Amino acid sequence: MALPFIATLAVTFLAWAVAAVLSQSMGDAMTLSSSVWLATGVTFGALLAVKPPKRPAVLAGAALAATALALLDGLTVLPALAFGINEALAAGLGAWVARLLRATGPEGRMEPGKAYAGFLLGALLTSMLGASIGVMLWSWALPQPIALLVEWRVWTCTTFVGILLIAPLITSFAGFRVKRSGGMATSQFLAGAGTFVLFFVVAALIFSSDVSDRFSASLGPTLTYLPLPFMVVTAILWKERGATLATLLGALALIAWTNTGGGPFAEVEGFPGEAVIEVQGYVAVMALLVGVVNALGATAAQALALAQDWRTRYRQVLESNRTVVANFDAKTGTAQWGEGASELLRTNAAALLTVQDYIAHADPQDQSALQADWRDLAQGQREHALWKNSLRWSDGRVATVSARLSGVRGADGQVEQVAVLLEVEA
C-alpha cells in the first residue's frame, strides 16, 4: 500500500507544480494578476478521478505542493503549511459535494446533467472557500495591508476558471486506454479538427493583436464572441475527451493573447486589470458551453444505449418464444413488421404489405371469418381477436400461426392501429 500512495502523491505533486508554474507564467503584464489558476483544478479533478483509497495521497500531494510554492514565495513555515492545508481542505470539500450529485441512481446509472451541476457547485465551493481562508492567511502572514475584497475576487475567479478547464480534462482521460479499433471515426475526427483549426484562425484574428486596427473600431469589438460557435461544434464532434483538451488549449491561447495586450478586452480598459477579468469571464463562458454540450451529449448517448439494450432484450424474448410483432393501420391496413418476422414466418414479410395480403394466404375457408374480425377490430366494435390458421406461401412452405390482435385507440377514442402478436409453431 505504501508504494501506490507514494506514487499517487508524487504524480499529484508534480502535476500541481507544473500547473502552478504555467498559471504564474500567464500573469497580466501590467498588473501581474494571474488570469487563471490551474493547480487547484488538478487537485479537484484528481479527487473526482481516483478511487477512494488514493484520495488521501492526492490531498497530501496537493498540500505539499502548495506548501512548497508558499515557501518559495518567501513565507515562513507555519503560514506555508496553512496554505497547503487550505488547498487540501477547499478542494476536498468541493470534490465531496461534486461526488454527492455525481453518484449513480437506483438503477446504477449516473445522470450527466445532475453530475455536471454538482461539478459546478463543487468548483464554486472550492473557489470561494479557498479564497476566504486564503485572504485571511495573507492578512496574517504578510506585514503590509492587502485589499481583501480584491484578492478574494481574484482568487475565486482564477480558481473557478482553472477548475472548469483542468478538472473535466482529468476526469475524461482517467480511464483512457489506447485501442487498436473502435472509437471515433476518421471522418468525425477530421471534421472536429477542421472546426478546431477554424476556431484558432478566427480567435487569432480577433485576439492576437489590436482588433480595431484589423477590423475597424466599429466592427472589431462586435466580433468578440465569433470563435465560440466553432468551439461548440468541435465539442459536439470530438465528444468529451477531445472537447476538454480543445477547450484548455483554446483558453490558454486566448488568455496569453489578452495578457500581451491583444484582443478587444485589452484594447479598452476602464481600469488596470479589467482585461484579466473580462477574459476570465470569456473563458468561463466557453468552458461552460462545452460542459453543457458534453453533458447533453452524454445524456443522449446514455438514453440511446439504454434503448438499444432494451431493444436487444425485447427481441431476444420474442425470438425465444417464436413470436413476431406487427402493426396494421386501422384505415388502410398497411403492415409494419417487427424484426425477425421473415425468418419465423418462412417468407419475405416485407411482401405482406397489408393485412389483406396476410389474409389472402390463409386457408380459403377461413378468409371470410378473418375479414369479419378485421372489420370489427378496425371499427372499434371488438377490442381483441384470436386467429389460429395456416399460412401457405407460393413456394409451398407453410407457417402455422396463432395471432392475437388488439385495437389501439387514439386521443379521439377511435381505433388508429391494430397491434398483433403472432406465435409461430416450430
pLDDT 10s digits, 388-405: 888 888 888 888 888 888
pLDDT digits (tens, 9 = 90+) for 331-355: 888 988 888 888 888 888 888 888 8
| Confidence at residue 108, expressed as pLDDT on a 0 to 100 scale | 58
Mean pLDDT of 17-29: 83
pLDDT digits (tens, 9 = 90+) for 123-182: 999 999 999 999 999 888 777 777 788 889 889 999 999 999 999 999 998 876 655 555
The yes-or-no verdict on residue 73 having pLDDT over 60 is: yes
Q: Verify that 163 and 185 share a domain, yes or no.
A: no
> End of a domain among 148, 176, 204?
176
pLDDT digits (tens, 9 = 90+) for 301-316: 888 888 888 777 777 7
pLDDT digits (tens, 9 = 90+) for 239-279: 889 999 999 999 999 998 888 888 788 776 666 667 788 88
Q: Which of these, 415, 348, 406, 352, lies nearest to 380 by C-alpha position?
A: 415
The yes-or-no verdict on residue 16 having pLDDT over 90 is: yes
Give the separation between CA 201 and CA 195, rounded to whole angstroms.
Answer: 10
Residue 367 maps to which CATH number?
3.30.450.20
Q: Verify that 333 and 314 share a domain, yes or no.
A: no
DSSP structural state of residue 425: P
Q: Which of these, 229, 402, 421, 172, lies nearest to 318 by C-alpha position?
A: 421
Q: Verify that 27 and 94 share a domain, yes or no.
A: yes
Q: Verify that 111 and 15 share a domain, yes or no.
A: yes
Give the separation between CA 422 and CA 387, rounded to whole angstroms.
Answer: 9
Give the separation between CA 226 and CA 232, rounded to whole angstroms.
Answer: 11
Q: Verify that 218 and 258 share a domain, yes or no.
A: yes
| Confidence at residue 183, expressed as pLDDT on a 0 to 100 scale | 67
Confidence category of residue 43, pLDDT binned at 50, 70, 90: very high
Give the separation between CA 270 and CA 264, rounded to whole angstroms.
Answer: 13
Give the separation between CA 109 and CA 112, rounded to whole angstroms.
Answer: 9
Q: How many domains does the chain have?
A: 3
Domain carrying residue 46: 1-176
The yes-or-no verdict on residue 297 having pLDDT over 80 is: yes
Can you tell me whether residue 269 is helix, strand or coil?
coil
Give the separation between CA 307 and CA 16, rounded to whole angstroms.
Answer: 41
> End of a domain among 320, 347, 378?
320
> End of a domain among 158, 176, 194?
176
Q: Verify that 158 and 205 share a domain, yes or no.
A: no
Q: Which of these, 48, 16, 175, 176, lies nearest to 119 by C-alpha position?
A: 48
The yes-or-no verdict on residue 64 having pLDDT over 80 is: yes
Q: Verify that 294 and 384 share a domain, yes or no.
A: no
Residues contacting residue 196 through CB under 8 Å, at least 6 positions apart: 230, 231, 234, 238, 246, 250
For 37-65, give the DSSP string: --HHHHHHHHHHHS-GGGHHHHHHHHHHH
Q: Verify that 334 and 203 share a domain, yes or no.
A: no
- Cβ atoms within 10 A of the Cβ of 253, count? 16
Mean pLDDT of 5-17: 94
Give the separation between CA 412 and CA 240, rounded to whole angstroms.
Answer: 45
Give the separation between CA 343 and CA 331, rounded to whole angstroms.
Answer: 28
Q: Verify that 172 and 242 share a domain, yes or no.
A: no
- Cβ atoms within 10 A of the Cβ of 183, count? 12
β-pairing, 335-337 vs 384-392, is unpaired
Mean pLDDT of 3-18: 92
Residues contacting residue 224 through CB under 8 Å, at least 6 positions apart: 206, 211, 263, 264, 265, 282
Q: Verify that 299 and 316 share a domain, yes or no.
A: yes
Give the separation between CA 90 and CA 86, rounded to whole angstroms.
Answer: 6
For 291-315, give the DSSP string: HHHHHHHHHHHHHHHHHHHHHHHHH
Q: Verify that 181 and 148 share a domain, yes or no.
A: no
- As given in the structure block, the three cell numbers for residue 196 are 478546431
Q: Verify that 338 and 407 share a domain, yes or no.
A: yes
Confidence category of residue 113, pLDDT binned at 50, 70, 90: confident
Confidence category of residue 213, pLDDT binned at 50, 70, 90: confident
Percentage of residues of the chain with pLDDT beyond 90:
40
Give the separation between CA 208 and CA 202, rounded to whole angstroms.
Answer: 10
Instruction: Name beta bridge partners: 325.
Output: 421
Q: Mean pLDDT for the chain?
A: 86
- Cβ atoms within 10 A of the Cβ of 176, count? 8
Confidence category of residue 14, pLDDT binned at 50, 70, 90: very high
What beta strand segments (E) does 160-254 contain? none
Confidence category of residue 223, pLDDT binned at 50, 70, 90: confident
